[in-house]
Each structure stands twice: as C-alpha cells, then as structure tokens.
C-alpha cells in the first residue's frame, strides 16, 4: 500500500497513452482520419493526459465543463470535480463544419508535424474568449502571453475522449529529467517518502529557490524539483539551458537522498493564481503532498499581487485537493543577517544598493528574482554573488554570450523589490 497521496479524483492514475501494440494499431488507423492541427499548448496538454498527469480527464473539455471550470473551478461531467483551468482544443470553422459528431480525428502537433493521438468528436461549440481570459487570467490585455494564446486560438472548440500515441520529443530530448507521474511515484516509494514538496520551476534555480527547497526538506521527506519543459514566452531561458543550470546547483548543494529532479511537458500559461491551482492538481498526480508557493507563483508582469497564488487556495472547497500549499514569504539575501532570510525572520528593512559593477554599496535586503537575473544576464551586467551560485552563473553567461538577438527583459514591481 502506497503512503503517497492518491491521484486527483481517482483511486489510481489514468494515463491515456496506449501500450506498444495498441499504439502501433492506432497510428496505422490514424492515416485514414482527418487531421486536426494542435498548438504547442494543446499538444502539451494532450501529452499531460497521456502520461496521467491530468488524471482523471479523459479528453478535451466540452462546453459545460469549460463553463464550470471557468466560473466554479468544477467539472459538471465528473460530479463537479475540482479543476481550475480549462483544457480545450480549438479549430477553424471550416474544419469544424466538416466533422460529424462521433467522427474520429487525428490530432497533429503543428510545430513538430507529428501525430500525437486521436479523438472521437463528442461536441463542437464556441466560447466567449474574453470571459475565459477574465476568469482565468484576470485580464483581457493582449500583452499577457496567456491571453494572447486564447485570443489567437480557433473560433470553435472540439471535445471528446482521446487516445495518445506519442510523448513527442520530451523523452529523448530530456532523457533523465522528463518523468511521468508513475515514474516519479516509483522513485518516491523507493526512498520510502510519504511527504514530498514540489518546487515549480520555469527559471534557472537561484538562491531564493534553493532556500525554499531547503526549508521544504526540513518539513517533508524530500523535495521534487519539477521544472517545465514546454514552451515559454520570448525572453525566458530555454529548458535545455535551465536543466544544466539546475543540475549544477542541485548536484553540489543538496543532499542527493533528499531531492529528486523531474520535468513535465506542459506549456506555461502565466495564469498566476489559477495556474498555481493547476500546478497543485497535477503535482498531486505526481505523488506530491505539498506544493511550494512563493512570491508571484506562475505570474507575469504586474497582473497579480505577489501572494494571490497563496490566498486563492482559501477558495478550494474542503477535501477537493489532497495536496496542500506550503506558503513561503518574500525571501532575499540580507547583508545585515549575512544569510538568506525572509520577511518573517529578518528585522532589517532597508533595500540593498548594488552598483552597475555588481558591488554592494549598502542597505540590507537584496531581493532575488528570476526576472532580475534574466535582465542582468541579458544586458551583460555582473550578477552579485549573493544572487546565485557561480556554477549557475557560468552556464547562463555561456548561453547569453551566444545569443545573436536578445529580448528586452522588463522588470515588474515584484522583481524591483518594491514589496520588500
């Protein structure tokens, strides 16, 4: 009997990826089916269903579930199961008109030109895109990367159960990091862990991340450093570089028996509070009992308050999730304390001053953020040693030195330290 938390809404994982013989048969059968192209976001969502990370979903959502998810965090088709973010597939009006209810279609990833699986069309429907954006992202600003994705999607949604035949390039390109929930659970059980804290990462691991992970290890059996391998917005650091940087820090500064690294194929939505809830749902499927939720979790720009991703967990109905948030305050390096600290522990309130050469000029608190790290590196400016380990900085410097075209990194209020 496993000591890990159960999967979300199900006594066991429900992976939709077919086994080898069934997969070969389905790939052959798909040759005669109409092709429905998928965006990178939809492809990532389908692979998440394939590996069981989106247990207990059996396919892309119909209109009733889309509405329930947007408005009430609930799926009517599954006895109002808690679910915070719509998982949908869109297409053009012309292609939608050509499809009959009950017809099976082949789902293709447009970026890799590869078959990901098949779906039996159970419903065709339109949605109010602005309503989804207001509910999920709390904004309809087209500059928000998640809003932009929704507004650019096709006008008609297709719903239905899916069969997954491919995990795309993730198992080969990220061998050793990419994991299914079943694989992660097996590793946790081999170490006899019952409490596991997930650390969500889309940036290289700087000292604040490491500090949060060390705190989590003090209260749980271990920490699962779980990084996103899917597509990011321009200016973010690509997954292959991030994997190397995280490896460098974890391998040298963590006890190997207390940390496991993993990666998942989903694309970032930058939905802040709502995405934090989705992160909790699928981390529960991975076997994690806790999700570390720090400042501006899954946020972008100034669309969300620094701790909205923590307070939204108060809206989760009792018993809806087995996983619990491990809420962390602002963390920073304090020159007066001479160590990493947080708002709850440090009495020194002045902001640290760093000159253009990266030298300390006075003050106490040096706020660390992934955005600030990317900005310093992209502009070729020195990074204070308190910000991140030299092994990490060396890998990032190599990446930025090779970039021919650099994206301007804009600082939001959290990254500038206004709240500290």
**Position 367 pLDDT exceeds 90:** no
pLDDT mean over 399-403: 87
**Structural domain ending residue among the three candidates 119, 142, 170:** 170
Taking only the tens place, the pLDDT of each residue in 170-179 is: 999 999 999 9
Q: What is the per-residue pLDDT for 236?
A: 79
- 198 is a domain residue: no
- 197 is a domain residue: no
Which of 16, 41, 56 shows the shortest CA–CA distance to 165?
16
Nearest 5°: phi and psi at 42? -65, -40
Which of 42, 234, 57 shows the shortest CA–CA distance to 143?
234
- 15 is a domain residue: no
- 163 is a domain residue: yes
Tell me 348's DSSP state. -
- The structure tokens listed for 276 are 């934090």
By three-state DSSP, how is residue 88 classified?
coil
Q: Which helix (H) or strand (E) holds 123?
A: strand 123-125
Confidence label for 237 from pLDDT (cuts 50, 70 and 90)? confident
Q: What is the per-residue pLDDT for 356?
A: 80
- 227 is a domain residue: no
Alpha-carbon distance values, 319 to 51, 71, 324 (Å) = 25, 19, 11
Is position 357 annotated as part of the catalytic site?
no
Confidence label for 375 from pLDDT (cuts 50, 70 and 90)? confident
Do 52 and 164 meet the contact criterion of CB atoms below 8 Å apart? no
- 374 is a domain residue: yes
**Structural domain ending residue among the three candidates 170, 190, 222:** 170
Rounded to whole angstroms, the maximal C-alpha distance in the chain is: 69
Confidence label for 410 from pLDDT (cuts 50, 70 and 90)? low
**Position 419 pLDDT exceeds 50:** no
d(Cα 62, Cα 78) in Å, to the nearest integer?
12
Do 64 and 56 meet the contact criterion of CB atoms below 8 Å apart? no
Residues whose CB falls within 8 Å of the CB of residue 269, separated by 6 or more in sequence, listed in order: 41, 85, 136, 137, 146, 149, 275, 278, 298
- The structure tokens listed for 27 are 């790939």
Q: Of 369 and 184, which is predicted with more confidence? A: 184
By three-state DSSP, how is residue 262 classified?
strand
The active-site residue, picked from 157, 203, 207, 285, is 203
Q: What is the per-residue pLDDT for 405?
A: 66
Per-residue burial over 174-204, b if 16 or more Cβ lie within 10 Å, else e, is beebbbbbbebbebbeeeebbbbbbbbbbbb
Q: Which domain holds residue 124?
A: 20-170
pLDDT mean over 262-283: 97
Q: What is the per-residue pLDDT for 415?
A: 44
The active-site residue, picked from 41, 157, 185, 202, is 202
Do 144 and 29 meet the contact criterion of CB atoms below 8 Å apart? no
**Position 67 pLDDT exceeds 50:** yes
- 303 is a domain residue: no
Q: What is the per-residue pLDDT for 383?
A: 86
Which of 123, 68, 117, 53 shows the shortest CA–CA distance to 91?
123
Q: Considering its fold, how many domains does the chain have in total?
A: 2
d(Cα 293, Cα 198) in Å, to the nearest integer?
9
Which of 120, 111, 231, 114 shows the shortest CA–CA distance to 167?
114
Calculate the CA dihedral of residues 126, 129, 133, 136 and round it to 10 degrees.
Answer: 0
**Structural domain ending residue among the three candidates 139, 170, 201:** 170
pLDDT mean over 370-392: 84
Long-range (24+ apart) CB contacts under 8 A made by 72-77 are: 73/277, 73/315, 73/316
- The structure tokens listed for 403 are 């970039």
CATH of the domain at 121: 3.10.400.10
Is position 203 annotated as part of the catalytic site?
yes
Mean pLDDT of the chain: 93
- 243 is a domain residue: no
pLDDT mean over 103-116: 96
Taking only the tens place, the pLDDT of each residue in 173-214 is: 999 999 999 999 999 999 999 999 999 988 888 899 999 999
């Amino acid at each position: 009997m496993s000591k890990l938390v159960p999967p979300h809404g199900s006594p066991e994982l429900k992976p939709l990826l077919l086994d080898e013989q069934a997969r070969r048969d389905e790939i052959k059968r798909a040759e005669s089916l109409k092709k429905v192209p998928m965006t990178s976001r939809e492809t990532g969502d389908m692979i998440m269903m394939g590996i069981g990370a989106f247990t207990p979903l059996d396919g892309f959502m119909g209109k009733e579930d889309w509405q329930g998810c947007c408005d009430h965090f609930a799926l009517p088709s599954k006895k109002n199961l808690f679910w915070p973010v719509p998982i949908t597939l869109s297409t053009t009006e012309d292609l939608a008109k050509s499809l009959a209810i009950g017809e099976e279609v082949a789902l293709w990833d447009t970026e890799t030109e590869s078959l990901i699986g098949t779906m039996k069309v159970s419903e065709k429907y339109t949605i109010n895109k602005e309503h989804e954006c207001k509910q999920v992202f709390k904004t309809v600003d087209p500059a928000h990367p998640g809003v932009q994705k929704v507004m650019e999607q096709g006008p008609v949604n297709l719903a239905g159960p899916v069969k997954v035949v491919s995990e795309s390039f993730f198992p080969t390109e990220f061998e050793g990091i990419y994991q299914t929930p079943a694989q992660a659970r097996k590793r946790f059980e081999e170490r006899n862990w019952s409490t596991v804290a997930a650390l969500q990462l889309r940036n290289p691991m700087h000292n604040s991340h490491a500090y949060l992970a060390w705190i989590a290890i003090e209260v749980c059996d271990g920490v699962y450093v779980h990084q996103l391998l899917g597509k990011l917005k321009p200016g973010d650091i690509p997954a292959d570089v991030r994997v190397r940087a995280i490896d460098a820090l974890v391998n040298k500064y963590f006890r190997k028996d207390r940390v496991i690294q993993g990666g998942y194929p989903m694309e970032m939505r930058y939905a802040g509070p709502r995405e934090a809830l989705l992160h909790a749902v699928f981390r529960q499927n991975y076997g994690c009992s806790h999700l570390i939720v720090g400042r501006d979790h899954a946020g972008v720009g100034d669309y969300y308050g620094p701790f909205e991703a923590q307070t939204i967990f108060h809206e989760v109905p009792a018993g809806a999730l087995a996983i619990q948030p491990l809420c962390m305050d602002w963390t920073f390096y304090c020159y007066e304390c001479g160590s990493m600290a947080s708002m709850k522990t440090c009495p020194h309130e002045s902001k640290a001053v760093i000159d253009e050469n990266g030298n300390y000029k006075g003050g106490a608190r040096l706020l660390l953020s992934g955005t600030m790290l990317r900005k310093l590196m992209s502009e070729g400016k020195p990074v204070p040693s308190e910000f991140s380990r030299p092994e990490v900085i060396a890998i990032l410097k190599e990446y930025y030195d090779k970039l021919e075209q650099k994206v301007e990194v804009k600082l939001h209020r959290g990254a500038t330290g206004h709240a500290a």
